[in-house]
Amino acid sequence: MLTENKFSKYLLYAIGEIILVVIGILIALSINNWNENKKTQNQLSLILYNLIEDLNDDLEYLYDEVELHEFRISCFQYLLEKSDIKKFEFNRLPKQSDTWWQGAYPDTINLKYAEKCVMASVYDYNVNIQTSSIDEMKNLGIFSNIKNNALKKAINKYYGFMPQIRQDWNRDLITDWRKFLLENYDIIPSEEILSMVNPIEFVKDNKSVSTRIRALEGPAQYRFYNVNIAINLAEEVIQLIKEEVSASDTE
């Protein structure tokens, strides 16, 4: 009987030791998992901050694009209207800024404005979209760690839309337009010299020129609206990131 009691005590002691070891292992694993999750969340927060920087860089380019194309559209409509080519009514887009023209756009014939219109018609920007942060996030496999489904959806929507911005076939038309002016009329528009006397008469007297301008107006409108969509999407992502990071910092 004494031997059996000793064995029972040893057995209970051994079981207790095993239980303590298991509990210790579970606690260690829990702490390790917590540390890894915290490390991942800190890494994710840092990349999200960097993503905001990328998006702000994108917005600088996109704001320039939308200003250029708004001015270009208004110019094309103005040149066609004042050249007595465009006979129907049209709604002017709201003026975006004074970058290209100070003050209100003229309603009457204004040769300075017409010259500026021709110069803007041959201008374009290199597409400049930043992807380093979103690429890093996906390469590290931590995109799925974003808890905010609205944010994940907004990020996917923005970067899913951006190929339409990168594929700027409108630039090809502008390149052809510059080549057309140079090869057919020896015109090289620039800020310093504009090689024509009266741009409005030039458009009016050359049907091929007015035809080209009509062909450029539609793509400029398409580009304008697409860039505006991209701006709205980028601003939405930035706002959601700020809310997500702010919520994470308070946890």
Token pair for residue 250? 């308070």
Using CA atoms, how far apart are residues 216 and 177, in angstroms rounded to an integer? 9
Q: What is the pLDDT of residues 215-230, one digit of tens each?
A: 898 899 999 999 999 9
- Identify which has the larger pLDDT, 6 or 186: 186
Residue with tokens 């009266």: 198
37/81 Cα distance (integer angstroms): 63
Residue 249 has pLDDT above 90, yes or no: no
Q: Are 105 and 92 in contact (CB under 8 A)?
A: yes
Dump pLDDT digits (tens) for 14-69: 676 677 677 767 776 666 666 566 666 778 888 999 999 999 999 999 999 999 99
- Flag whether pLDDT at 142 surpasses 70: yes
What is the rounded distance in angstroms from the CA atom of residue 217 to the CA atom of residue 173? 11
Contact 249, 109 (CB under 8 A): no
pLDDT tens string 77-89: 999 988 877 655 5
d(CA 227, CA 165): 7
Instruction: Count how many residues are written for the chain.
Output: 251
Cβ proximity of 217 and 73 under 8 Å: yes
